[in-house]
Amino acid sequence: MKIGVFDSGIGGLSVANAIKKAMPEHEILFKNDAEHVPYGTRSLDEILAFTIPVLQELVEEGVVCIVVACNTVSTNLIGTLRELFDVPLIAMEPMVKPAAEQTKTGVVAVCATPRTLASQRYAELKTNYADGVTVLEPDCSTWATMIETDQVDASAIRQLTQGVLSQGADVIVLGCTHYHWIEETIRQICSGKAEVLQPEQPVIRELARVLARLS
């Protein structure tokens, strides 16, 4: 079967690669929107207008489902997009629930785009699963562009990560697929101090369930 993977930029490529590794029997079609990346600081009307044509391309190429490997799109627009497309859309959103379940200090950090952090869905995740947990939201607004342009500032990443560690965070959530490309750097900084979570494996498990229903 053909599986579509969509993201604003190269972030979702890490998701597509993970799916290929887990499901080599399927054909993975990855599409992004390099012309308009990053999405995280744009208006919702802009993001929707950019997203629809790319998803339509995937549908026309015969995918049976699409992984929306963009937290910004998933947390803000997944309901609207599901009304527009007949194929199943698998959302990708910050792992607030597992972070809240795993923390021992009662402090977690969510690294995400401004648009994701401002979304109603993200607010719901915090209300439903992080009651009584302190959720730090450091300013990662420049990270997607930094990674997209291959101008990674290791010192800036270290400073931000050490900042949330100093505030007691023992779980750090990567709430943007671009950040998966610097996951190992963050893990090294957090070694012995905090766990780092990102949703590739849970999404692959959800994809397997969807494909089982379709087969």
Same domain, 75 and 14: yes
- Indicate whether 121 pLDDT > 90: yes
Q: What's the pLDDT tens digit per position in 5-28?
A: 999 999 999 999 999 999 999 999
CA distances from 106 to 95, 101, 122 (A): 15, 9, 18
d(CA 92, CA 206): 10
Same domain, 11 and 72: yes
Full residue range of the structural domain in which residue 16 is found? 2-92+200-214
What pLDDT, on a 0 to 100 scale, did the predictor assign at position 215? 85
- Indicate whether 125 pLDDT > 90: yes
> Mean of the pLDDT values across residues 130-136?
97
Q: What's the pLDDT tens digit per position in 46-79?
A: 999 999 999 999 999 999 999 999 999 999 999 9
Catalytic positions, please?
70, 176
Q: Is 97 exposed, middle or buried (0-12, 13-18, 19+ CB in 10 A)?
A: middle
> 171-174 and 134-136 as β-strands: parallel, antiparallel, unpaired?
unpaired
d(CA 57, CA 166): 45
Same domain, 63 and 103: no
Average pLDDT across the chain, whole number: 97
Same domain, 205 and 181: no
**Where are the extended beta strands (E) located within the chain?**
2-7, 27-32, 65-68, 89-91, 107-111, 134-136, 171-174, 195-197
Same domain, 103 and 192: yes
Q: What's the pLDDT tens digit per position in 138-182?
A: 999 999 999 999 999 999 999 999 999 999 999 999 999 999 999
Structural tokens at position 215: 């087969």
Same domain, 20 and 88: yes
Same domain, 174 and 115: yes
Same domain, 172 and 183: yes
**Which pTM value belongs to this model?**
0.95
> For residue 84, what is the DSSP state?
H
d(CA 93, CA 73): 9
Same domain, 77 and 51: yes
d(CA 80, CA 205): 24
Same domain, 17 and 76: yes
CATH of the domain at 19: 3.40.50.1860
Element (H, E) at 50: helix 44-60
Q: What's the pLDDT tens digit per position in 179-207?
A: 999 999 999 999 999 999 999 999 999 99
Same domain, 208 and 130: no
As a whole number of Å, the CA-based R_g of the chain is: 17
- Please tell me the total count of domains within the chain: 2
Same domain, 70 and 122: no
Compute the half-sphere exposure of residue 157: CA atoms within 13 Å on the CB side of its CA: 22
Q: What's the pLDDT tens digit per position in 92-102?
A: 999 999 999 99
